[in-house]
Amino acid sequence: MPAQPLTAHQQKAFEGILGFLDDPGLHAFLLLGYAGTGKTFLLRHVLEVCEEAGLKTVLLAPTGRAARILEQATQREASTIHRALYEQTREYCTDEGYRAEFSLRENEDPDTTLYLIDEASMLSDMEADSEELCFGSGRLLLDLITYVSPYRSSRKLLFIGDPAQLPPVHQAGSPALARSYLHHSYGLQCAQATLTQVHRQQRDSRLLETATRLRSELHKAGHRSFHIVGNGHDIFERTPASLISAYARHLKRYTVPRIIWITHSNKAAHETNRAVRQALGYRSARLQQGELLMAARNHYSPEAFFMNGDQMRVVHLAPESETETVEVQLNYRDQKGVRVQLRYRQAQVRLLHEAPDAGPVRILLLENSLTDFRTGLLSAAAWVESMKRWQADPQGLELEAFRRQDARANALLVRFGYAITCHKAQGGAWETVILNPEHPVPLHKDAFIRWAYTALTRSRSKLCLSAPVRCRSLSNIRLMPIQPCEAFPETVATPPAEAHTPALPLTVRPADFHKAACYDLISGVCERSGVTLMGVTEEERGMCFRLGTGIAGSRIDAYFDHDGICAELVPRSPAGYKDDRLLRLYACLARQI
């Protein structure tokens, strides 16, 4: 058994898993736990027990990065779910593009095998929308359960994950971590344990405090209020320019970086990668020796296996004079005669997850993939080019054998790896995370809270922000320009009664709470700017504030979103910007929000 003992909380969950293994009526166990609660540590104890009992265990994860982390944490072989479940059965290219089809393997594992799926919050049960790669039914969770078939054998599933992290793309929740979903959709009888006591960060850590606050906000139905701000201890605020400079210095100093930059989108990651490369002195868009790369797909090399998401350093790069450039013309979807240049370049790379004394790996890179994100078109062009060389091959090999040994057909697709999306970072951990909190989703939405929680919990010790995050019920209001209007309507209602109560009871409906908060904002600004609040008309999706500016008809219309939160304020006056008092109130309001 691992030397360090389990805590009382972990011991209870451990005993629950042992009971699950002994109960033939249970198909799956859900081990839920927040970041740093010791899920992986507990997993090592489970593996030890299974090995002592002679039970076969299979360690799986949804992504290459998560599988690598799982391998390192358990000191046992782990695989991506895709690699374990599927085998390629067909590969072809039409005018619609390149397509590779993978079917479900036959399961030859013993009937008593236990499958342990880490980072199960990422496991999707929606049909994948990839037009290039088709895996089984397209629904990963369905295929996993079909492959294991726990209700037809004694095989069991152990799902491990954090329910507060990002769910699969395009899904509101994580189906593999939902006991009721697994039961109603697949008939699985499930047991469950939840770890809540955090051990990874220090107990006085602001990171822990912030993560705990973010988790608690997910369970609130109404008003949400939280902040992620610097404290000078483990959370820091810096300008984007200073963060890029500091990050570039770190990258020059350490071969294996201890810092990662996390963004909300591939576009933001691309822009950050470009800025960091410039800070490193790389003026050209072409690949340079010493650069940090990330595998964009799984790759089977004779020297190493690259998983999607693996980071690597370029140790040696063939000179540009030896770069092979091939022009391919093809029909692609609704485009005829598309010309694509494929640029191949030999390199030696060091995989960052390997031991320090591990030697470099020789690999052929498809250099275009660094800046051309049209992977479907690149794959189609590479297929067409490969087919032409196969048809001209004097050895007369079968197509499958030719492509298996052909370097160009197996060129590695890569991206610059200085900045990555939060989804790519899931399952990983770094000493320091740099986070750009700009996000298209409003701060009070579940999607932002889960994204922020997932990003900051990738850090083991420090978080650096390019801007502070402050969420209040009124933190996402858009203040519109002053609009001309006609006379004010005659019907005027009184302000919400709750607005005069300093501390509102928790039983107030969320919509009423936000309307009262909006009233507090407008009335406070009126008082500070010397404008009398004449009255308020309250409606289901908005409020109208009548103002005593000396010009009849001056008002502010407040519009609320479907969650009952104020989204937009529109000042109106028959005099427009000539309404001096409204203009003064407007300036005060702009400073307030």
Q: How far apart are CA 576 and CA 319, in angstroms?
A: 65
Say which residues have a Cβ less than 8 Å from residue 391's Cβ, sequence separation at least 6: none
Q: Identify which has the larger pLDDT, 231 or 93.
A: 231
- Name the CA dihedral angle for 219, 500, 494, 568, rounded to a multiple of 10 degrees: -50
| DSSP H or E stretch at residue 382 | helix 375-391
Q: Quick one: which of 267, 287, 238 has its CA closest to 433?
A: 238
CB atoms within 10 A of CB 391: 9
Mean pLDDT of the chain: 86
**Residue 508: predicted pLDDT:** 32
Task: List, by residue range, all CATH 3.30.310.240 domains of the chain.
Answer: 510-590
Closest Cα to residue 259, out of 406, 55, 136, 431? 431
pLDDT, one tens digit per residue, over 533-548 is: 988 888 778 889 999 8
Say if CB 165 and CB 454 are below 8 A apart. yes
For residue 130, give both structure tokens: 């990839």
Paired strand residues for 312: 293, 351
CA dist 172 and 166 (Å) reads: 9
Residue scoring higher pLDDT (123 or 196): 123
Identify the band that residue 557 occupies on the pLDDT scale cut at 50, 70 and 90: very high
As a whole number of Å, the end-to-end CA separation of the chain is 56
Q: So what's the pLDDT on residue 487?
A: 66
Closest CA to 81 of 101, 59, 62, 102: 62
CB 538 within 8 A of CB 515: yes
Over residues 253-261, the mean pLDDT reads 94
Longest Cα separation, the chain: 93
412-454: pLDDT as tens digits: 999 999 999 998 898 888 999 999 998 888 787 888 999 999 9
Q: How many angstroms separate the CA atoms of 482 and 158, rounded?
A: 58
Q: Taking a C-beta distance cutoff of 8 angstroms, is the pair 298, 307 a contact? A: yes
- Is residue 341 classed as helix, strand or coil in its secondary structure? strand
User: Tens digits of per-residue pLDDT, 91-114?
Assistant: 887 767 778 889 999 999 999 999
Apex 432 CA angle, 265 and 4, nearest 5: 120
Instruction: Report the C-alpha gap between 162 and 26 in whole angstroms.
Output: 22
Residues 333-340: contacts with CB under 8 Å, at least 24 apart: 333/95, 333/96, 333/97, 338/377, 340/377, 340/378, 340/381
Secondary structure (3-state) at 176: helix
Instruction: Using the structure block, give the residue that is written with the tokens 């027990």.
Output: 49
> Sheet containing 459-465: which strands, arranged edge to edge?
235-237, 459-465, 430-435, 259-263, 419-421
What CA–CA distance (Å, rounded) separates 457 from 475?
Answer: 24
**200-288+413-473: CATH class:** alpha beta
CATH of domain 8-195: 3.40.50.300
| pLDDT tens sequence across 317-344 | 998 877 777 777 777 777 778 888 889 9
- Reported as a pLDDT band with limits 50, 70 and 90, residue 509 is very low
Q: Please identify which residue in the block is written with the tokens 């009971």.
A: 19
Give start-end residues of each CATH 3.40.50.300 domain in the chain.
8-195, 200-288+413-473
**% pLDDT > 90, the chain:** 47
- Residue 448 CB partners (closer than 8 Å, separation 6+): 439, 441, 442
Residue corresponding to tokens 């052929």:
364
- Answer positive or negative: Cα dihedral of 398, 399, 404, 408: positive
Q: Which of 287, 238, 233, 229 is nearest to 261 (CA)?
A: 238
Q: Specify the pLDDT at position 492.
A: 39
- Give yes or no for residue 184 having a pLDDT over 80: yes
pLDDT tens digit sequence for 118-152: 999 999 999 876 767 889 999 999 999 999 999 88
Q: Which CATH code is given to the segment(s) 510-590? A: 3.30.310.240
User: Distance between CA 246 and CA 244 in Å, rounded?
Assistant: 6
Q: How large is the average pLDDT for residues 255-259?
A: 93
- Beta strand ranges found along 378-438 (DSSP E): 412-416, 419-421, 430-435
CA distance 26 to 452: 35
Q: 240-253 vs 266-279: helix axis angle to the nearest 10?
A: 70
Three-state secondary-structure class, residue 268: helix
Q: Is the per-residue pLDDT at 43 higher than 60?
A: yes
Contact 148, 121 (CB under 8 A): no
SS3 of 92-156: the string is EEECCEEEEEEEECCCCCCCCCEEEECCHHHCCCCCCCCCCEEECCCCHHHHHHHHHCCCCCCCE
Cβ–Cβ under 8 Å, residues 557 and 569: yes
Amino acid letter for position 526 = C
Q: How many CB atoms lie within 10 A of CB 210?
A: 23
pLDDT > 70: what percent of the chain?
91
pLDDT at residue 221, rounded to an integer:
63
Rounded to whole angstroms, what are the CA distances from 184 to 146, 174, 187, 557?
Answer: 15, 15, 6, 46
pTM for the model: 0.77
